[in-house]
Amino acid sequence: MAHNWNLDQVVSQLRMVRTAWRDSQRGNSERGDRELPSPEALRDIITHLRGALFPMRLGPADLRRETEDYYVGHTLDAVLNALWRQVRLELRYTARQQNDATEHEIDARAVDLVRQFAAALPDVRSMLDTDVLAAYAGDPAARSVDEVLLCYPGMLAIVHHRLAHVLYQLGVPMLARLVAEQAHSATGIDIHPGATIGRGFFIDHGTGVVIGETAIIGERVRLYQAVTLGAKSFPADAEGNLHKGQPRHPIVEDDVVIYAGATILGRITIGAGSTIGGNVWLTRSVPSGSHVTQAQSLQERLPPASGE
C-alpha cells in the first residue's frame, strides 16, 4: 500500500531553507556540483595510507615481502590522486570565499600540496615507529609492538593525527579535521590536527583524552585516559566574535607523564620530567621535575582559611 507523505511540500520547503542559507552566506554560492571534501573518500584514503605506511601489518592479508614495494607504490599512486581531488575541493571552497584564485592556480596548488604531503610520509612513518615503541615500553600489558599497532586505540588516534597534522600545516584544515574526527569517532580520543606532538608519544587507554589546537607536546610524553589539554578562556573582540588561532592551550615539555582525569588549562608550561597526578586541575605553570598531586591542586583552588 502506497502512502502519501506530502513530499512535494517537504521538498519545496527544504529548497526554500537551502536557498535562504545560501543567500545569507556571501561568496559561498553553489555551482551545482560537489562543493566540499567527502568524509567517505577521506576514510578510504586514510585506510589505504595506513596500509602503505605499515604494509605487512595493515596492508592486505595476502601481501608478501617480495611484492611489498609494488604494493606501496601502487597504493600511493591511487591514494595521492584521490587525495588531490579532495584537496582541490577544499581549495576551491576557500577560493570562492576569498575570490583570490583561478581554477588553473587551484589545480596547480593542489598538485604541489599533495607532492609535499607525499614527501612527508617517510618522516611520518619514522615518528610513528617511535610512538609504537613508546607504547610497548610504557605498557606492561603490551606483548609485542605488533599488538600495539593493531589493537591500541591510542595508536590509531596518533596515526590519524600524524597524517592530519601534515595536512593542517599544508593549509587544508578541513581535510585535516575530517581525518582527526574519524579517529575521534572510533576511539573517543580528540586531538585537534593543529596540535604539535613530538616523537615517542603514548596515550594509554585513551578514552576521553582531549588535546587542543595550539597545544605543544614534547618528546616521550605519556597521557592516560580522560586527560584534557584545553583552553582556560576564549578572548573575543568588541562584537563578541572569538579570536581564532590564538595560543591558548598548554605546552608540555619532554618526558612528562599525565595521569588519568587530569585537566590542564590555558597557555601554561608543564616543565620537563614532571608528573601530573590523576584528577589534578591545573591552571599554572610548573617547573621541570615537578610532582603535582590532586591534594596540591585542590589546595590551590580553596579560599584561604579565616584570618589568613
Give yes or no: residues 179 and 255 share one domain.
no
Tell me: do 183 and 259 sit in the same domain.
Answer: no
Residues 156 and 226 in one domain: no
HSE-up of 65 (CA within 13 Å, CB side)? 0
Q: What is the CATH number of the domain that holds 112?
A: 1.10.3130.10
CA 189-192-198 angle, to 5 degrees, is: 90
- Residue 17's pLDDT is what? 96
Same domain, 180 and 230: no
220: left (phi over 0), alpha (psi -120 to 50) or beta: left
pLDDT value of residue 204: 96
Same domain as 292, residue 170: no
Q: Same structural domain for residues 308 and 224?
A: yes
Q: Are the C-beta atoms of residues 232 and 249 closer than 8 Å to each other?
A: no
Rounded Cα distance between 47 and 51, Å, is 7
Contact between 170 and 162 (Cβ < 8 Å): no
Answer for the pair 252, 258: CB distance below 8 angstroms, yes or no: yes
Q: Tell me what pLDDT residue 306 has.
A: 47
Same domain for 249 and 125: no
Question: What's the rounded Cα separation, in Å, for the pair 95 and 264?
Answer: 37
Q: Is the pTM of this model over 0.85?
A: yes
Question: Which phi and psi angles does 292 have, rounded to 5°?
Answer: -110, 125
Determine the pLDDT at residue 26.
60
Tell me the pLDDT of the chain (308 aa) as tens digits. 778 889 999 999 999 998 998 888 765 545 555 679 999 999 999 999 999 999 999 999 999 999 999 999 999 999 999 999 999 999 999 888 777 778 889 999 999 999 999 999 999 999 999 999 999 999 999 999 999 999 999 999 999 999 999 999 999 999 999 999 999 999 999 999 999 999 999 999 999 999 999 999 999 999 999 999 999 977 777 776 777 778 999 999 999 999 999 999 999 999 999 999 999 999 999 999 999 998 676 556 555 554 44
| Per-residue model confidence (pLDDT) at position 302 | 53
**Which CATH number is 255's domain given?**
2.160.10.10
Q: Are 215 and 256 in contact (CB under 8 A)?
A: no
Does 19 map to a domain?
no
Same domain as 213, residue 163:
no
Give the residue among 221, 202, 305, 207 at the shortest CA–CA distance from 270: 221
Q: How many structural domains compose the chain?
A: 2
Q: Are 66 and 179 contained in the same domain?
A: yes
Per the structure, the complete domain to which residue 306 belongs is given by: 208-235+245-308
Compute the distance between CA of residue 12 and CA of residue 49 in angstroms, rounded to an integer.
42
Position 5 in a domain: no
Question: Do 95 and 162 fall within a single domain?
Answer: yes
pLDDT, position 124? 98
